[in-house]
């Protein structure tokens, strides 16, 4: 007996389907799917959440200095003439950043193997392309989802049966984060 459900798909199709559903679950908090798919998605999601909970505080805070170009009131770079050439003027800025420790970096890369890229598109059509944002899913896992489950030992998801689907009578369920 296999250790997973084949879901009537080839391995590449199955992997893509599960990655897509796990990404949607973590992004939206709940998804509606069939019971068999939900049980497979739950396995992957629980592992990722456990990984995020384990590594959530595993980083160092570091202060770094960076050169940033000066900008004028219109947002264009300020240039000055040096030895007959126009050169951009830079300021030195101190920034505090989070630097992942090796185990957290490994966890982030493990998550990136599963998650697809997620874009948040605004509802209004005005400036739709300009206001579209890329969501960093591992960052969301560490900063939003992991603190929520910090004092919980497993059982991060819940499957609620909805009923049978009209077309093929497959059992539909709601898979949600607890």
CATH of the domain at 15: 3.90.1030.10
Are 71 and 54 part of one and the same domain?
no
Are 113 and 160 part of one and the same domain?
yes
Among residues 28, 47, 49, 25, the alpha carbon closest in space to that of 159 is found at 25
* DSSP assignments along 41-84, one per residue: HHHHHHHHHHHHHHHTT-EEEEEEEEEEE-B-TTSPBPEEEETT
Are 21 and 85 part of one and the same domain?
no
Are 72 and 154 part of one and the same domain?
no
Are 106 and 53 part of one and the same domain?
yes
Are the beta carbons of 79 and 88 closer than 8 angstroms?
yes
The total number of structural domains that make up the chain: 2
Are 112 and 43 part of one and the same domain?
yes
Q: Which domain holds residue 114?
A: 11-58+102-177
Are 154 and 107 part of one and the same domain?
yes
**Residue 2 covered by a domain:** no
Are 49 and 83 part of one and the same domain?
no
Are 46 and 82 part of one and the same domain?
no
pTM of the model: 0.84
Are 35 and 122 part of one and the same domain?
yes
Are 111 and 42 part of one and the same domain?
yes
Domain C-terminal end among 67, 100, 133: 100
Residue-level pLDDT at 124: 81
**Residue 18 covered by a domain:** yes
Are 28 and 42 part of one and the same domain?
yes
Residue-level pLDDT at 1: 56
Q: Which pLDDT tens digits describe the chain residue by residue (178 residues)?
A: 578 999 999 999 999 999 999 999 999 999 999 999 999 999 999 999 999 999 999 999 999 999 999 998 888 999 998 888 999 999 999 999 999 999 999 999 999 999 999 999 888 878 888 889 999 999 999 999 999 999 999 999 999 999 999 999 999 999 999 9
H-only helix segments in 56-145: 102-114, 137-140
Are the beta carbons of 77 and 88 closer than 8 angstroms?
yes
Residue-level pLDDT at 75: 87
Tokens of 96: 């505090």
């Amino acid at each position: 007996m296999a250790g997973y459900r084949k879901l009537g798909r080839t391995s590449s199709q199955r992997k893509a389907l599960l990655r897509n559903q796990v990404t949607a679950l973590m992004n939206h908090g709940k998804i509606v799917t069939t019971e068999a798919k939900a049980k497979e998605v739950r396995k992957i999601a629980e592992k990722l959440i456990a990984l995020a909970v384990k590594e959530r505080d595993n980083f160092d805070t570091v202060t770094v200095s960076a050169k940033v170009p000066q900008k004028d009131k219109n947002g264009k770079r300020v240039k000055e003439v040096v030895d007959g050439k126009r050169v951009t003027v830079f300021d030195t800025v101190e920034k505090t950043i989070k630097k992942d420790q090796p185990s957290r970096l490994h966890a982030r890369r493990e998550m990136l193997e599963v998650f697809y890229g997620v874009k948040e598109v605004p509802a209004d059509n005005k400036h739709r392309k300009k206001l579209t944002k890329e969501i960093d899913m591992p960052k969301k896992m560490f900063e939003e989802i992991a603190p929520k489950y910090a004092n919980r030992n497993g059982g991060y998801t819940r499957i609620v049966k909805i009923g049978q689907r009209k077309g093929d009578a497959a059992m539909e369920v709601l898979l949600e984060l607890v």
